[in-house]
Amino acid sequence: MIKITCIETVYPAPEGDEDYCPDGEAFSREEGVSFRELVSLMREHMHPSSSQLEGTESEWFTAESYQDPYTGEYILNSLHYAHDNPPRMVKYWKAAMRIAGYRVV
Protein backbone atom coordinates (compact mmCIF):
# COMPACT_ATOMS: atom_id res chain seq x y z
CA MET A 1 0.00 0.00 0.00
CA ILE A 2 1.09 3.52 -0.79
CA LYS A 3 -0.44 6.46 1.06
CA ILE A 4 -1.90 9.31 -0.96
CA THR A 5 -3.47 12.61 0.01
CA CYS A 6 -6.61 13.61 -1.85
CA ILE A 7 -7.47 17.30 -1.70
CA GLU A 8 -10.87 18.63 -2.71
CA THR A 9 -11.12 22.40 -3.07
CA VAL A 10 -14.62 23.88 -3.19
CA TYR A 11 -15.16 27.35 -4.65
CA PRO A 12 -18.44 29.15 -3.90
CA ALA A 13 -21.03 29.61 -6.63
CA PRO A 14 -20.63 32.82 -8.64
CA GLU A 15 -22.99 35.69 -7.93
CA GLY A 16 -23.92 37.74 -10.98
CA ASP A 17 -21.85 38.26 -14.12
CA GLU A 18 -18.86 39.97 -12.52
CA ASP A 19 -15.31 38.61 -12.58
CA TYR A 20 -15.13 35.54 -10.40
CA CYS A 21 -11.99 34.62 -8.46
CA PRO A 22 -12.81 33.67 -4.84
CA ASP A 23 -10.70 31.66 -2.44
CA GLY A 24 -11.75 28.07 -2.12
CA GLU A 25 -12.09 25.92 0.96
CA ALA A 26 -9.89 22.82 0.88
CA PHE A 27 -10.62 19.46 2.46
CA SER A 28 -8.02 16.70 2.56
CA ARG A 29 -7.99 13.03 3.39
CA GLU A 30 -5.29 10.40 3.39
CA GLU A 31 -5.81 6.85 2.28
CA GLY A 32 -3.77 3.80 1.39
CA VAL A 33 -4.16 2.46 -2.14
CA SER A 34 -2.72 -0.44 -4.08
CA PHE A 35 -0.30 0.21 -6.92
CA ARG A 36 -3.03 -0.61 -9.45
CA GLU A 37 -5.43 1.85 -7.79
CA LEU A 38 -2.72 4.53 -7.80
CA VAL A 39 -2.17 4.11 -11.55
CA SER A 40 -5.93 4.36 -12.12
CA LEU A 41 -6.19 7.52 -9.98
CA MET A 42 -3.29 9.13 -11.85
CA ARG A 43 -5.09 8.46 -15.13
CA GLU A 44 -8.23 10.12 -13.75
CA HIS A 45 -6.25 13.16 -12.54
CA MET A 46 -4.82 14.00 -15.95
CA HIS A 47 -3.14 17.35 -15.25
CA PRO A 48 0.34 17.00 -13.68
CA SER A 49 1.79 19.82 -11.59
CA SER A 50 4.74 20.16 -13.95
CA SER A 51 5.20 19.87 -17.71
CA GLN A 52 8.42 17.93 -17.08
CA LEU A 53 7.81 15.27 -14.48
CA GLU A 54 10.81 13.93 -12.59
CA GLY A 55 8.94 11.39 -10.47
CA THR A 56 9.45 13.19 -7.17
CA GLU A 57 7.16 13.19 -4.18
CA SER A 58 6.58 16.94 -4.59
CA GLU A 59 4.68 16.47 -7.87
CA TRP A 60 0.90 16.07 -7.90
CA PHE A 61 -2.00 15.57 -10.30
CA THR A 62 -5.22 17.51 -10.74
CA ALA A 63 -8.51 16.42 -12.31
CA GLU A 64 -10.78 18.62 -14.41
CA SER A 65 -12.81 20.96 -12.24
CA TYR A 66 -16.57 20.67 -12.40
CA GLN A 67 -19.58 22.63 -11.24
CA ASP A 68 -21.99 20.99 -8.82
CA PRO A 69 -25.39 21.20 -10.54
CA TYR A 70 -27.26 21.57 -7.25
CA THR A 71 -25.16 24.14 -5.39
CA GLY A 72 -23.38 25.89 -8.26
CA GLU A 73 -20.05 25.43 -6.47
CA TYR A 74 -16.93 24.62 -8.46
CA ILE A 75 -14.97 21.60 -7.26
CA LEU A 76 -11.33 20.79 -7.99
CA ASN A 77 -9.72 17.49 -6.93
CA SER A 78 -6.00 16.80 -6.70
CA LEU A 79 -3.89 13.76 -5.89
CA HIS A 80 -0.67 14.06 -3.84
CA TYR A 81 1.99 11.75 -2.47
CA ALA A 82 1.54 11.45 1.31
CA HIS A 83 4.80 12.53 2.93
CA ASP A 84 4.53 10.10 5.82
CA ASN A 85 5.23 7.20 3.44
CA PRO A 86 8.49 5.34 4.04
CA PRO A 87 11.26 6.75 1.77
CA ARG A 88 11.32 3.59 -0.35
CA MET A 89 7.74 4.29 -1.58
CA VAL A 90 8.83 7.17 -3.83
CA LYS A 91 9.99 4.68 -6.45
CA TYR A 92 6.43 3.32 -6.69
CA TRP A 93 5.04 6.85 -7.08
CA LYS A 94 7.43 7.37 -10.00
CA ALA A 95 6.69 3.96 -11.53
CA ALA A 96 2.94 4.63 -11.33
CA MET A 97 3.47 7.89 -13.26
CA ARG A 98 5.16 5.99 -16.08
CA ILE A 99 2.56 3.23 -16.22
CA ALA A 100 -0.25 5.81 -16.16
CA GLY A 101 1.23 7.20 -19.37
CA TYR A 102 3.14 10.25 -18.17
CA ARG A 103 6.60 11.00 -19.53
CA VAL A 104 9.01 11.04 -16.60
CA VAL A 105 12.56 12.34 -17.19
pLDDT, average across residues 23-34? 95
- What's this model's pTM, rounded to 2 decimal places? 0.89
**Predicted confidence band of residue 81 (pLDDT cuts 50, 70, 90):** very high
Instruction: Tell me the pLDDT band of 18, cut-offs 50, 70 and 90.
Output: low
Give the count of alpha carbons within 13 A of 24, CB side only. Answer: 15
More confident residue, 21 or 58: 58
Rounded distance between C-alpha atoms, residue 4 and residue 90, angstroms = 11
